[in-house]
Structure 1
Amino acid sequence: MSLITELILNADSEARYPAPKEIRIFQDFLKTGERRIRIAKTLAENEQRIVQNGSARFWERCPNTPSNSGNERKTASCQRDQGWYVRLIAYSILAGSERPLEEIGTFGIKEMYNNLEIPIRNIAECMRCLKEEAMSLMSEEDGAEVAPYFDLIINSLS
């Protein structure tokens, strides 16, 4: 759900027009639209690079892991999931809200990886590596916009 949808639904649930503070939030959302689109586009155009280089960085730090076992199916599955998280972050940036990431990507994340018998600390470290790679492609300002979304994933694994 986008920030704008949230504002409208909140006002509608109370049968009122958006308050001046909510209108300012809407205006700020519109002002940052080009930047959010640019960041999402950077993530989309570089997803494969982020995943490939992030994985290589992760394997340097954690060489003994299922994604680096020589089993191509496991490696492809892990990298598919990594790309999925990069995409969810792009959705959240476009929406101006953590909700897409929270609702789609972090709900039950620990349980899922525990059930797959993948060490949670490995997933968290992998996300740190993806974050580092993504941020290396962006300006400091754009990186500051992206970092909290990766941190949300990492913190949900704690």
Structure 2
Amino acid sequence: MSIITRSIAQADREARYLNAGELSAILDFYESGLSRIRLATILAENEQKIVEKASLRFWERCPDTPSNSGNKTYRASCLRDQSWYVRLITYSIVVGDVEPLAKIGTIGVKEMYESLEIPLPNLVEAIRSLKEASLELLSLKDVTEVAPYFDYLIQGLMA
């Protein structure tokens, strides 16, 4: 839930107007909007490069994984899923909140991968590889904005 939605929901529950602190937080959210969009654009425009680099890293670290077994369907599924996670990260960056990751990226996903007999530690390592490949494209300041979304996803998959 974005800062705007949270602030309005809280004020409405308490039957009051938004206070100065809430309005200031909303203003900060709007003022940082161009930066969030810029970061999401960098990741979106480099998605293929990120996924290719991350996949190679992942398969070096986890050579004994279904997606590296020579089965083209498994490999394509792995690449598709990595792309999907990059997309979820961009959604979260744009809204400035982990809600898209929580709702789409972690709830039920562990059960799905377990049912497909994909080792969760391998999935976590694949996300770490995506994080590394993504952050290599960014400045140090931008890394501090983007890394927490990857960390949230990794923690959610490890929990």
Query: TM-score, normalised on structure 2?
Result: 0.94
Equivalent in the alignment of 2:45: 45
Matched letter for residue 19 of structure 1? N
Q: Which amino acid aligns with 1:120?
A: L
Whether contact under 8 Å (1:47, 1:86) holds in the other structure is: yes
**Any conservation in 2 of the 1:109–1:156 contact (CA below 8 Å)?**
no
Residue 25 of structure 1 aligns with which residue? 25
1:14 positional shift: 2.5
Deviations 1:133-158 (A, max 9, x none): 00000011111111111111111122
The structural deviation recorded for 1:68 is 1.2
1: CA distance, partners of 2:57 / 2:108? 26
Query: Corresponding residue for 2:105?
Result: 105
C-alpha separation in 2, matches of 1:91 and 1:135: 16
Alignment-mate amino acid for residue 36 of structure 1:
R
- What is the number of equivalent residue pairs in this alignment? 158
Residue 15 of structure 1: aligned partner: 15
User: Can you list the C-alpha shifts for 1:53-78, whole angstroms capped at 9, x where unaligned?
Assistant: 10001011111111111111111111
Tell me the equivalent position of 1:95. 95
- Aligned residue type for 1:3: I
Residues 51, 79 of structure 1: 8 Å contact kept: yes
Supply the distance in 1 between the matched residues of 2:49 and 2:37 (Cα, whole angstroms): 19
- Provide the C-alpha distance between the structure 2 equivalents of 1:34 and 1:55, rounded to a whole number of angstroms: 30
Distance 1:99 1:3 in 2: 11
Task: Give the Cα–Cα distance (whole angstroms) in 1 for the partners of residues 131 and 101 of structure 2.
Answer: 15
TM-score (norm 1): 0.95
Q: Distance in 1 between matches of 2:12 and 2:136?
A: 41
- Matched-pair contact (CA < 8 Å) for 1:36–1:94: yes
- The residue correspondences of 1:115-154 to structure 2 (distance < 5 A) are 115-154=115-154
Partner of 1:73: 73
Q: 1:3 deviation in Å?
A: 2.3
In structure 2, what residue type is equivalent to 1:149?
Answer: Y
Structure 1 residues not aligned, in runs of 5+: none
Moved over 3 A (4+): none
Which segments of 5 or more consecutive residues in structure 2 lack a partner in the other structure? none
- In the alignment, the residues of structure 2 paired with residue 99 and residue 10 of structure 1 have an alpha-carbon distance, to the nearest angstrom, of 17
